[in-house]
Amino acid sequence: MRLLVTGGCGFIGGNFIRYILEHYDPEFVTNVDALTYAGNIATVAGLAAQYGERYEFLHADIANTDLMDEVMRKHQFFAVINFAAESHVDRSINSPQNFVHTNVVGTSVLLDAARRHGVRRFIQISTDEVYGSLGREGRFTEQSPIAPSSPYSASKAGADQLALAFHKTYGEEVIVTRCSNNYGPWQFPEKLIPLMTINAIRDRPLPVYGDGQNVRDWIHVEDHCAAIVAVLLNGKAGEVYNIGADTEMANLDLVHRILAHLGKPKELIEFVTDRLGHDRRYAIDSTKIRAELGWKPLRKIEEALPATIDWYLANREWWENLVP
């Protein structure tokens, strides 16, 4: 089985490549990444030496039609798994055009190339942010209306709809996954958990938006990777699968846990002006993937969050070059 993984030098994509090479035996994994600010080749360091011909890396932009044609012509891929995305909400507010280029145009190029070159399956990795914001009650299901709040989530919603349209129009075996907030090793330091962890390690202020009561639903990245494999192997074409671990937490509570584990004072917290269009609460209903594909999360945040913090403590050389 040959897999084309796009965005494989990013946080989730890189963890997925490590996960599937370790736990399964695909004939070949090709990692395509443009190595923009959040794509770090160090995230997949050592894979070529460890897995030999089972792994290769191609530095390329997924919106480059000629290059995507070339790579798909070279290999007969079973599936494309599209992690490639500009994903930081604050950056999308400042420069939305970059997000349209990668998240919409890039997905379109990949879908069309996969169709023309006979790729069996196309897994579009999306986000719960396409659903917008929740009130105090309820959870997002696959039937929840799409209501994105930022240029980032709007670009991902557009890519999702485009992918599903390729299934309806061309019969392409497209599946969309929408996951809650991930945490774990190799996450780019602008995201909440690594940012707060690294700032606390350095005794720098921890910037918390607004009142800190925005709620997110957290899942360890390896549980997400296991869910993607279940969808890849057994998911139904044309479907959307929500992925979550039923772990809701206010941002401020999460920051308090990080400080407590590191033995740092709460006085490091600095409340800052809230983000524009900041969604108040996300929560995922993952009943469908659990019932239909037999997946369930295995890692509890009580153990997995401290292990993640300890990873950043033990791997300063990975992030020190990324954070001034």
What ranges do the domains of the chain cover?
2-182+220-246+279-298
- Residues 211, 178 contacting (CB under 8 angstroms): no
Rounded to whole angstroms, the Cα distance separating 306 from 256 reads 12
Report pLDDT for 98. 78
Mean pLDDT of the chain: 94
Which CATH number describes the domain made up of 2-182+220-246+279-298?
Answer: 3.40.50.720
| 182-211 pLDDT tens trace | 999 999 998 999 999 999 999 999 999 999
Report pLDDT for 88. 63
**Average pLDDT value for residue range 82-103:** 78
Q: Is the pLDDT of residue 87 over 70?
A: no
Report pLDDT for 90. 67
Report pLDDT for 97. 77
Q: Tell me how crowded residue 97 is: count the other CB atoms within 10 A of its CB.
A: 10
| 8-25 pLDDT tens trace | 999 999 999 999 999 998
Report pLDDT for 93. 75
Q: Which amino acid is present at 66?
A: D
- For tokens 């969050």, name the residue: 305
| 99-139 pLDDT tens trace | 888 889 999 999 999 999 999 999 999 999 999 988 888 99
Provide the annotated active-site residues: 128-129, 152
| 210-231 pLDDT tens trace | 999 999 999 999 999 999 999 9
Q: Quick one: pLDDT band at residue 37, thresholds 50, 70, 90?
A: confident
Q: Tell me how crowded residue 1 is: count the other CB atoms within 10 A of its CB.
A: 15
Report pLDDT for 150. 84
**CA distances from residue 280 to 83, 245, 250, 257 in whole angstroms, order as listed:** 25, 19, 10, 20
**What whole-number percentage of the chain has pLDDT above 90?**
82
Per mean pLDDT, which range of 42-46, 90-94, 176-180, 183-187 is the poorest? 90-94
Which pTM was predicted?
0.95
Rounded to whole angstroms, the Cα distance separating 83 from 12 reads 7
Per mean pLDDT, which range of 39-48, 239-248, 266-275 is the poorest? 39-48
Report pLDDT for 295. 98
- Residues 282, 128 contacting (CB under 8 angstroms): yes
Report pLDDT for 25. 86
